[in-house]
Amino acid sequence: MTDAIAVLNTNTTSDSVQDITLSCAELWSIGQQEAIRRLSIQRSCLFTRVPRQHLVGDFSARAARIAATYARFYLETEQGCNPDYKGRFYWMGLAAFASKQVKCALDFIPDSLWFPLAKAATHVSKDSLGKGNFWLFQDIFVWHWFYAQYPEQFDECAPQRDTSTYVEIVKSNMASLPWAEETLTVLNNLRLTEDITKAFQYTRSFERSSDYEERRALQLQSLMMIANHEQITILQPLIYNEWVFNKSLDIQAALEDLPLIPKRVAAFTTTCDIDNEQRRVQMKDGNLYETADRMKFITAIAEKYHILMHEDVEYMEGTIRTISSWSNAE
């Protein structure tokens, strides 16, 4: 993953400047390559000593890196971000906690070998959770990266995002990613959706507003549009339509009151759960793989997050800042 994405010709006049215009496809290709790089480590080939990028193999470490990236986007500490607009990438703050919960679930799996039924269920869960978290990141990171880097080009280029039009080296890298062959077809080559369009319209309105209450409303509207995209467009067809994964979720739900079995919970902390009921939301009814049940749970999480980001923002942003330090997890 070290080849150049594009080769650009310069002029031959000393001390001159030549403007180079990159196409939308080239810009999307750069963003997609950056998404891959965030989950990779550099290693040298044993024989040639040439450094190459390799995906981090541990699913839990990937989840930690993903959480860290989401956290930095919320905090506006990513390259191209603007601290004056902190809060515009509102979903990213919540997603930092969500990817942390995925990390917790993945961390649990090796410890479940004492119970054969749980072992089988969690093995399936690990693969599906890893796939969903990885490919959601490949989709959603690039939308935010492009908006932060090229806000003036976003509206023009957003309808042109299509992995099949990426430059060849990036298409090749995409094809080599885990689950790529099945995923890119299922996810329509990561093309623009109506939910993403609306989400970033709300983001732009947030940037233009100076009214606190209006900004709060716009934050929640943008968050819910991305939540719809995330849950219904990405995760539902990618993992929640899988019968075997659904059976593993049924087993987890049936066993979650037993010791050591993770609960279906979102905890607003760096740890997997918290005793403070004001900083957690637990799913007690319904099935995660049923869209309506899951969206009811997601909405409850979003509402709790929205309250905490108003009433306890110092704690929340401090926790997000801690998560943002996980970017080099291996």
**For position 297, what pLDDT does the model report?**
98
- Residue 298 covered by a domain: yes
Q: Which two tokens stand for residue 177?
A: 């990613």
**For position 251, what pLDDT does the model report?**
85
| Sequence-separated (6 or more) residues with CB below 8 Å from residue 46 | none
**For position 9, what pLDDT does the model report?**
53
- Residue 329 covered by a domain: no
Contact 275, 197 (CB under 8 A): no
- Residue 69 covered by a domain: yes
**For position 2, what pLDDT does the model report?**
45
pLDDT string in tens for the chain (330-residue length) = 445 555 545 556 666 555 678 999 999 999 999 999 999 998 766 666 666 789 999 999 999 999 999 999 999 999 999 999 999 999 999 999 999 999 999 988 754 445 555 555 566 788 999 999 999 999 999 999 999 999 999 999 999 999 999 999 999 999 999 999 999 999 999 999 999 999 999 999 999 999 999 999 999 999 999 999 999 999 999 999 999 999 989 988 998 888 878 899 999 999 999 999 999 999 999 999 999 999 999 999 999 999 999 999 999 999 999 999 999 999
**For position 227, what pLDDT does the model report?**
98
Domain count, the chain: 1
Q: How far apart are CA 202 and CA 73, in angstroms?
A: 16
Nearest residue to 288 via CA among 128, 115, 140, 137: 128
- Residue 313 covered by a domain: yes
DSSP state of 88: S
- Residue 47 covered by a domain: yes
Q: How far apart are CA 220 and CA 214, in angstroms?
A: 10
Range of the domain at 183: 26-323
